[in-house]
Structure 1
Amino acid sequence: MAAPGRRERMRAQMSGEVRSIARHIIAHQGVEALTLAEIARRVGVTPAALYHHFDDGLPEIVYRVAEDIVDDLVHELQSAADSHPEDKFAMRMIEPVRALRNWAITHQSEFNLLFGTPSAAAGDAHAELTSAWVRRLAAVWGPIFVQLWAERRFPVLADDEMDPRLRQQMQDYRADTGVDLPPGAMVVMLSCWRSLYGQIALEVFGHFAPLFSDQEPMFELLMQDLMRGMGLEDQYQPPTR
């Protein structure tokens, strides 16, 4: 493959600089503070010049920044899962959730971009953005659930016990993400995610403050309950200090 030419290198450098500056603004001021004018001012170009690198303007910049954030986050979560042996299913599920909680608390503006209310800056790109990171997160936990299901079956609803609409949605999710689980097992996986995400969001958005100054014990209790439901309570390990 031929080495990129000078123009391609300059375009890549400009794109990287714009994404870096936009991410800095999001992290320190929130996505609401992100405008083409402010990005252009910091880069040292005109707002119109940004369209040479991002055809759709601000929504595309937000989308690309979100991709960078998800890349870093997924790498962190996967590393957390891989810190435990493959047969320690509970900890391979729990450790990345702990990492996600810690990341969300320390990166609240970035968490809000990915998981919060759709931003005006993202425009129509927000729906695509959400679908993209859902697939990426499924790639972290999905294989663990697939291996667990293959080796240690856990209680699930039978297909004929499920609302047909729910069953179809689970089948659609499997087709979209590639997580090869039967509908009942998929319900368990997504129910775990719903519970844990809800706990994290309540903490990040301050809905329990100031009643609970330390929400980690409640968070750990929830994970123990979820592991118990899958017969993995014996594998649970408390967080190291």
Structure 2
Amino acid sequence: MATLGRRERLRAQMSAEVRSAARRIITRQGVDALTLADIARLVGVTPAALYHHFEGGLPEIVYRVAEDIVDDLVQGLQSAVDSHPEDNFAMRLIEPVRVLRSWAITHQPEFNLLFGTPSAAAGDAHGELTSAWVRRLAAVWGPIFVQLWAERRFPVLTEDEMDPRLRQQMQDYRTDTGVDLPPGAMVVMLSCWRSLYGQIALEVFGHFAPLFSDQEPMFELLMQELMRGMGLEAQYQPPTR
């Protein structure tokens, strides 16, 4: 591996400091509070100097910070998957969702950046940002669904039963993410994600509060329902305390 020269090391260090400063602001105040002036002040440079490292300005910084957040999140999700044996499909699907829920509750500003309303700070980069983390998340759950489909087929719509528009979207998603599932199985995977995301978002944004102060039972009920639909209910394990 080639050794970085002094200039390259300084550039890498400055890039890391800028991303770290921007992430601190996002974590404490939200992405909408992010400005070049505030980042520059934390790093100890002028706002104009940031363009030497991030030519795209604030949207590029937001994009790079989002990459860092996704890197950390995906590492935690994959560790949760790997904590269960390969033949326990239910828990390899469920455990990372539990991690995602916990992370979303305790990292709401970062959750908002990745999953919330597009931010002005991200500018045109938001669409690319969203596409990037969708692919990363697909790489966590997709291989489990592929292995499950290969070993234990679950009920799906046939292609003839699907709206042609839906069938095409599933095929496009397969091409984009590399998750090699037939359209019907892809619908099941994405329907699971839609239900899980909806449950997590309702909790993060407080839509059930204060009626339900503890939403974990509803969350776990949803896990069991989804596993039952794929014939995996016997593998379900309640969360450890």
When normalised by structure 1's length, the TM-score is: 0.99
Q: Partner residue of 1:45?
A: 45
Q: Partner residue of 1:75?
A: 75
State the alpha-carbon separation in 2 of the partners of residues 7 and 38 from structure 1.
25
The unaligned stretches of length 5 or more in structure 1 are: none
State the alpha-carbon separation in 1 of the partners of residues 121 and 2 from structure 2.
37
State the Cα RMSD in Å: 0.5
State the alpha-carbon separation in 1 of the partners of residues 223 and 2 from structure 2.
50
Q: Partner residue of 2:114?
A: 114
State whether structure 2 residue 68 is matched by structure 1 residue 60.
no
Count of residue correspondences: 241
Q: Partner residue of 1:95?
A: 95
Q: Partner residue of 1:130?
A: 130
The 5-angstrom pairing of residues 155-234 of structure 1 reads 155-234=155-234
Q: Aligned AA for 2:32?
A: E
1:151 offset after TM fit, Å? 0.2
1:219 offset after TM fit, Å? 0.2
When normalised by structure 2's length, the TM-score is: 0.99
State whether structure 2 residue 213 is matched by structure 1 residue 240.
no
Q: Tell me which stretches of 4 or more aligned residues in structure 1 moved more than 2 Å.
A: none
Q: Partner residue of 1:139?
A: 139
State the alpha-carbon separation in 1 of the partners of residues 25 and 190 from structure 2.
32
1:182-212 deviation per Cα after TM superposition (whole angstroms, max 9, x unaligned): 0000000000000000000000001000010
Give SS of 1:122's match: coil
1:196-239 deviation per Cα after TM superposition (whole angstroms, max 9, x unaligned): 00000000001000010000000000010000000000000000
Give SS of 1:2's match: coil
The unaligned stretches of length 5 or more in structure 2 are: none
Q: Partner residue of 2:10?
A: 10
